[in-house]
Amino acid sequence: MARMDEGYFEEKRNMAMQGMDDTISNVKDALLLVNTLQYDMLDLTSPNTFHETIMAACSALVTVRLNFEKARWAASNTRLEFFDWLKVEREDLFKTFTA
């Protein structure tokens, strides 16, 4: 069994954390858009901007999950390639990332 270089682990862990920060920022932006929504003035909030912001957060979370799992893989004792390892560890995520 072999572990990946600790530097790779740190890189993926940091990427997951940065992705979470970016997602939190996007969700806060979307929350502000919802907060400005008013019954008598629907035009204050752009539906396209809201949905684009939410979709960016969703996309970022997929990447966060991938980087989190890559960090776990890097620290594990395995000879399996990442997607082979993921299939064993988290088949549900394997299907998500390889669909």
For the stretch 2-47, pLDDT in tens is 677 889 999 999 999 999 999 999 999 999 989 888 888 777 778 8
Tokens for 12, please give them.
């993926």
In sequence order, the 6+-apart residues with CB closer than 8 A to the CB of 21 are none
3-state secondary structure (DSSP) of residue 6:
helix
Do residues 70 and 82 lie in contact, with contact meaning Cβ atoms separated by under 8 Å? yes
Do residues 79 and 1 lie in contact, with contact meaning Cβ atoms separated by under 8 Å? yes
Phi then psi for 90, rounded to 5 degrees?
Answer: -145, 80
Q: Any idea where the domains of the chain sit in the sequence?
A: 6-98
Degrees to nearest 5, angle at CA 22 with 42 and 39:
10
pTM: 0.78
